[in-house]
Amino acid sequence: RTVLGIESSCDETAAALVTSERVILAQRIASQDEAHRPYGGVVPEIAARAHAERIAPLIEATLADAGMTLDEVDAIAATAGPGLIGGVMVGLVTAKALAMATGKPLIAVNHLEGHALSPRLADGDLQYPYLLLLVSGGHCQILLVEGVGKFRRLATTIDDALGEAFDKSAKLLGLGYPGGPAMERLALEGDPKAVPLPRPLKGSDEPHFSFAGLKSAVMRAKQSGQYADADIAASFQQAAIDCLIDRARRALDSVGKVNALVVAGGVAANKAIRGALEALAADYELDFVAPPLDLCTDNAAMIAWAGVERFAMGQSDPLDVAARPRWPLDPDAETVRGAGV
Ligand code: ATP
Ligand code: MG
Ligand code: FE
């Protein structure tokens, strides 16, 4: 079985062909970093227009890379949310048109489920249930993943997502957009103990994350003129890691038996964070699974894979399925202090 996956929820236009045997036959990603760089962040209208220009040729090229035609694809999966609605609609409507023209089933994929299941594309041995840290540009959650579409959210951020904190801190240091990889590089040259920064909610009874105060402290450290940028970056990254580990520890202590500790989402590409989580998993005698770096940041292979998993369960969606700007993985999770899903 081969599924075509389409991703367009943020600022990467992507297409991939993935088989039920976990083979990525082809994948292409057109990043829009250059288009958004002058604005220091993603401009939704620019993103939507860029997706509309690129998506059809990108899908054609992906099929050509694999030497396949649409007729040889078994299903068409596209991100239907959450994300920037203009972009989501471009990808979803493209998928609907292809499904209509070919008669193949359409699978509407939750972008976060794409991230959440990507470790299973990378590692065929990873079984449900697993404890997942979903750390991305828009989300910072700890989830118990019990199966396809079966998520229990144990923690979320009460303010900024971790990727957002990386991006905002990078901007304060003049590192440009996107900030995460630049912060990681600069942190390598700095002393993680040089700048005293807070660890918001570390040791707290509630399970959640908070990163807004950390970002503000980065701003004050920069404005003080007392510290080298590399020291600020390294200290920021260490503070973020300390928060993550503390919250993950709390979740591991409270959750039942799981098969692995797993990390996914764009921030999971950070090697220092991967290393710290791997050590934590070893401490709990758990397997640790992190997808390869290019499956952490936004891509279509993870969307195709979520499609493979849903298709294997006999699921597909009608051609009038809606694009959803908001779409929580765990609809039963309560709103935390008015913060995001
Ligand atoms: P979401 O998935 O929540 O809708 P998104 O799709 O915009 O948000 P992703 O593409 O999953 O987010 O992740 C992008 C985020 O990951 C950005 O905030 C980026 O700075 C961060 N990121 C990418 N690489 C690294 C890295 N090496 N270290 C830290 N952060 C990183
Ligand atoms: Mg991006
Ligand atoms: Fe994402």
pLDDT of residue 40: 84
Burial of 240 (0-12, 13-18, 19+ CB in 10 A): buried
CA of 69 to the centre of ligand 1 (A): 32
Q: What digits encode the pLDDT tens for the residues 165-183?
A: 999 999 999 998 889 999 9
pLDDT of residue 41: 87
- Rounded CA gap, 244 and 237, in Å? 10
pLDDT above 50 for 212 = yes
- Rounded CA gap, 170 and 232, in Å? 10
Residue nearest to atom 25 of ligand 1 (CA): 180
pLDDT above 60 for 200 = yes
Q: Which residues pair with 262 in a beta bridge?
A: 132, 289
pLDDT of residue 131: 98
Looking at all shown ligands, the one closest to residue 303's CA atom is 3
Q: Which of 115, 267, 277 is the pocket-test mutation for ligand 1 (most atoms within 8 Å of CB)?
A: 267
Task: Read off the DSSP letter of residue 268.
Answer: G
- Residue 112 marked ligand-binding: no
Report the 10 Å Cβ neighbour count for 20: 14
- Rounded CA gap, 13 and 59, in Å? 10
- Residue 265 marked ligand-binding: no
pLDDT above 70 for 248 = yes
- Residue 298 marked ligand-binding: yes
Segments of the chain assigned E as strands: 2-7, 12-19, 24-31, 75-81, 106-110, 130-135, 140-147, 150-155, 260-264, 287-289
Spell out the residues 6+ positions from residue 249 whose beta carbon is closer than 8 angstroms to its own. Answer: 280
pLDDT of residue 339: 55
pLDDT above 70 for 147 = yes
Model ipTM? 0.99
Looking at all shown ligands, the one closest to residue 183's CA atom is 1
Q: Which atom of ligand 1 is nearest to the CA of 178?
A: 20
Q: Which atom of ligand 1 is nearest to the CA of 139?
A: 3
Residue nearest to atom 15 of ligand 1 (CA): 137
pLDDT above 60 for 340 = no
Report the 10 Å Cβ neighbour count for 285: 6
pLDDT above 90 for 31 = yes
Q: What digits encode the pLDDT tens for the residues 70-79?
A: 999 999 999 9
Residue nearest to atom 11 of ligand 1 (CA): 266
CA of 277 to the centre of ligand 3 (A): 20
Q: Which atom of ligand 1 is nearest to the CA of 138?
A: 3
Residue with tokens 């499956």: 295
User: What count of Cα atoms within 13 Å lies in the side-chain half-sphere of residue 205?
Assistant: 0
- Rounded CA gap, 138 and 161, in Å? 5
CA of 163 to the centre of ligand 1 (A): 5
Supply the mean pLDDT for the chain: 97
pLDDT above 90 for 21 = yes
Question: Residue 186 corresponds to which tokens in the numbers above?
Answer: 């600069």
Question: Residue 22 corresponds to which tokens in the numbers above?
Answer: 């976990």
Cis bond before residue 318 (omega within 30° of 0): no
Q: What is the mean pLDDT of residues 296-324?
A: 98
List C-alpha distances in Å: 121 to 190, 205, 237, 290, 298: 35, 34, 28, 11, 14
CA of 135 to the centre of ligand 1 (A): 7
Looking at all shown ligands, the one closest to residue 181's CA atom is 1
Q: Which of 110, 136, 140 is the pocket-test mutation for ligand 1 (most atoms within 8 Å of CB)?
A: 136
CA of 32 to the centre of ligand 1 (A): 14
- Rounded CA gap, 122 and 110, in Å? 19
Pocket of ligand 1 (CB under 6 A): 10, 83, 111, 115, 136-139, 163, 166-167, 178-181, 184, 265-267, 269-270, 297-298
Q: Are 13 and 55 in contact (CB under 8 A)?
A: yes
Question: Residue 38 corresponds to which tokens in the numbers above?
Answer: 């002058």
Q: Which atom of ligand 1 is nearest to the CA of 265?
A: 11
- Rounded CA gap, 70 and 72, in Å? 5
The pairing of strands 130-135 and 140-147 is antiparallel
What strands lie across the sheet with 260-264, from one edge to the other?
A: 150-155, 140-147, 130-135, 260-264, 287-289
